[in-house]
Structure 1
C-alpha cells in the first residue's frame, strides 16, 4: 500500500469504496438541516431549519429510510466496488456500521451514527498525507473510525496522518449567515432562522470543512468557502500546509460540497453544472474548457412517495469518478451525459446508482482515491 494522490483524474491504482450497510435513517437536527440547506428547502416548505430544532440541541427527529431503498443502495455500492476491481483498481472497504450501533454523544448532544458511505467528506488525501477533516453533522462525528483499519495500514506503510481540530457542534458552533442570506442560495429558507440555543460548552464558531469542498489540482487546491466555519478551517489548512500547496478560495459556489458543481476530468477540462462557475475560479483556470452538463432528466430518477427525504439536487449525477484522463464512471441512468462525454473523447462506463438523491452522494462522494499516478504538478 502506498498513499499517493494529488488529483482526481490521473491513472487510478487504489481506492476506498464506502459502505452502505445498515443505513437505516437520518437524525434531523440543526446540524443535518443546515448542512443540506440548499437542497432540503428547495423541495418542501416544511423541510427547512429550524422547524425541527426549536427546542435546542436535544430536539432531534429520526427519519427512517425505506428498507427496500437501503437494500438497493447497498447492492449498487457493492456493484461499484466490483466494477472498480474488474478495471484493475485495488479496492479497500471500511468497516460496516453494526446494525445495533450505539448512539454517539458530544457536549450537549446525542446522535445515531451513519455508515461510512460518503467517505470523500471527512477525509482529505493530499499526496502522502491523510487529513481527517472536522465534520459538520453530529451523526457523522465518528465516521472516520470505520476507516481506521485502512488509514492505519497506509500510516504503517509511511503515510502521514493528521486530524484537524474537532468541532464541539453545539447550536452556537454554526455561522448561520449562508442560511439567512436568501440572495446567495437556491431560494432561501422558507421560515425565519431562529437564534441558536446557548449551552455551557459554546466556544464560538467551529472549524468545519469537508474534503468534498476541495478540488485537488496537483499543487493547487480550489476550496469552497460559504461561511465563517469554512473560513476558519481553510485558515488552519493553509497554516498547516505552508508553501507545499497553493490554496484558492472560491466564495459560495455551493453551501458545502462542489463535486456536483465542478470536477476536473483532465488537465484543461472541467465538467461543470453551468458556465457561470468560470467567473468564480482563479484567473488561470478560467481558460480551461468547460463541458456543461445537460439539464437533468426528471425521468432518470425513481418516483418516491411524499414522505421520502430528498438530499441532493437533480445535478447529483455530475458526481462522476475518473479512472484516468480518458475513462469516467457515469450513472447508467444518464445517457445524455454519457453521450456528451463520449463526444468529447472520453470513454464512459455505465454504472448503476438508483437512489442517489436519497443518500446524498454519487460515485465521487462514495470513494476516496488513495493512489493515483500523477504527481504534485503545477497545472496552473
Structure 2
C-alpha cells in the first residue's frame, strides 16, 4: 500500500515530513532571489550567508518540539537529511549556492498517491529534492507515484524585478512552488503569482489527469504562496485573510463555503532589516483533523476566533517564522491522511 495517500488539507493526519534548519543560509543575490524575495531592495544590499547561530539553533529545537508533539498525537514524523548549502550549483545559464530545507511544503506536493517535485521558482532551490531522495525512494517502493516536473531553465528573462508585484515571474516555462496549491479533494486551488505561473498550472493539470480540476486563481494574492491567505479548517469552513480575499476574487468553487475572517494578528517580530514574511504568517498553521489545528501560541486572538467556531487548537511556536519565511504549515508536508477522495463544491 502506498505510504503517500492524501486528498485534502484537513483529513486526520497519519504521516508528515518536518523540515530542518541544518545548513540554512540566505543564498547569493541572483536575479531570481532579487525578483521573488527582495524586489524592494538594491541587489547589493541583499544579505547572504548563514542565518545567525541563535536563530538556527532555536528554530531547530522548535522543529524537534513540533515533531515530538505530532508523534505524541500518533502521527508518523519523517525528517530530511542534511545538505551542504554552501555548495555552488551551476547550469549553462547561471550559478548559485543553496538556501535551506526548512520548508518542505514549498517544493513538494502530495495528491492522492502521487508525490510531485515542483519546478521551483528560485534558482537556489533547484536541487532541494536531494535532501529527500532516500525518503522519496521509500515512498516509491511502497507504491506511490513519484513525479518530478520538468526542470525550468530559469534564465534572466524569466524574472522582472522592477515589475509590479504579481508580474515578476514571467510565463515562459512551467514554474511554481508547491505552496501555491491547496487541495480540496478533486479540486485544487492554484495561486497564479510571483511564485507560480499559468504554464505551471497547465502542466499540473496534465500531470494529474481528468480526476482533478486545477483552478488557476489570478488576482487573489500576487506575492508568494497561498497558505497565509486561505486555510481550510474542515469541509465547508475556511479561514480567510481579509486583506487579500473578498467577494470579487473568491475562487468560484469555494463560494458555497462558510468563512472565518482572520482577526488582527500579533506581530511576532523579525531579525535584520527585511522580514521574509508579513504578520499574516500567523495564519500559517497545520490542520491535523477536521476542526483541529496546531497554531502558534502567540496568536491569542486567532486562537479565540478559531475556538469560537469549534476548532480545537494545540499550541506550539516558531519564534523566527517572519525572519525565515515559514510558519507551521510551511515547515511540514503531509504525506498520508485517512479519508477518501471526494468533491466539496
TM score, norm. by length of structure 2: 0.92
Answer yes or no: is the 8 Å Cα contact 1:13–1:90 preserved in 2: yes
Alpha-carbon shift at residue 75 of structure 1 (Å): 1.2
1:369 partnered with 2:334: yes
1:293 partnered with 2:257: no
Alpha-carbon shift at residue 229 of structure 1 (Å): 6.0
Could you tell me how far apart the structure 2 residues matched to 1:229 and 1:335 are?
32
Alignment-derived partner of residue 237 in structure 2: 269
Could you tell me how far apart the structure 2 residues matched to 1:228 and 1:27 are?
19
Alpha-carbon shift at residue 64 of structure 1 (Å): 4.4
Alpha-carbon shift at residue 302 of structure 1 (Å): 3.6
String of CA shifts for 1:261-309, please: whole Å, max 9, x gaps.
11111111111111734432333411211111111223xx1464xx443
Alignment-derived partner of residue 140 in structure 1: 125
Alignment-derived partner of residue 13 in structure 2: 12
Could you tell me how far apart the structure 1 residues matched to 2:343 and 2:273 are?
45
Measured at CA, do residues 87 and 212 of structure 1 come closer, stay the same or move farther in structure 2, by a change above 3 Å? same
Alignment-derived partner of residue 125 in structure 1: 110
Alpha-carbon shift at residue 26 of structure 1 (Å): 3.4
Answer yes or no: is the 8 Å Cα contact 1:96–1:115 preserved in 2: no
Measured at CA, do residues 365 and 227 of structure 1 come closer, stay the same or move farther in structure 2, by a change above 3 Å? closer
Alignment-derived partner of residue 28 in structure 2: 27
1:208 partnered with 2:199: no
Structure 1 residue runs of 5 or longer lacking an equivalent are 42-46, 54-58, 186-192, 197-202
SS at match of 2:315: strand
Higher mean alpha-carbon deviation, 279-288 vs 325-334, is at 279-288
Answer yes or no: is the 8 Å Cα contact 2:177–2:195 preserved in 1: no
1:104 partnered with 2:89: yes
Alpha-carbon shift at residue 228 of structure 1 (Å): 10
Alpha-carbon shift at residue 117 of structure 1 (Å): 1.2
Instruction: Say which one has the larger Rg.
Output: 1
Answer yes or no: is the 8 Å Cα contact 1:220–1:246 preserved in 2: yes
Could you tell me how far apart the structure 1 residues matched to 2:325 and 2:241 are?
17
Measured at CA, do residues 11 and 224 of structure 1 come closer, stay the same or move farther in structure 2, by a change above 3 Å? same
Answer yes or no: is the 8 Å Cα contact 2:277–2:323 preserved in 1: yes
1:72 partnered with 2:53: no
Could you tell me how far apart the structure 2 residues matched to 1:278 and 1:34 are?
30
1:220 partnered with 2:163: no
Number of equivalences: 342
Among 310, 318, 321, the alignment partner of 1:353 is: 318
Answer yes or no: is the 8 Å Cα contact 2:25–2:98 preserved in 1: no
Among 337, 343, 367, the alignment partner of 2:302 is: 337
Measured at CA, do residues 227 and 121 of structure 1 come closer, stay the same or move farther in structure 2, by a change above 3 Å? closer
String of CA shifts for 1:338-375, please: whole Å, max 9, x gaps.
11111111110110110001111111111110101122
Could you tell me how far apart the structure 1 residues matched to 2:83 and 2:195 are?
32
1:247 partnered with 2:233: no
Measured at CA, do residues 303 and 3 of structure 1 come closer, stay the same or move farther in structure 2, by a change above 3 Å? closer
Among 186, 190, 201, the alignment partner of 1:234 is: 201
Alpha-carbon shift at residue 215 of structure 1 (Å): 1.0
Alignment-derived partner of residue 91 in structure 1: 77
CA RMSD of aligned residues (A): 2.5
Alignment-derived partner of residue 169 in structure 1: 154
Poorly superposed stretches of 4+, deviation over 4 Å: none
Could you tell me how far apart the structure 1 residues matched to 2:264 and 2:184 are?
26
TM score, norm. by length of structure 1: 0.84
Measured at CA, do residues 163 and 278 of structure 1 come closer, stay the same or move farther in structure 2, by a change above 3 Å? farther
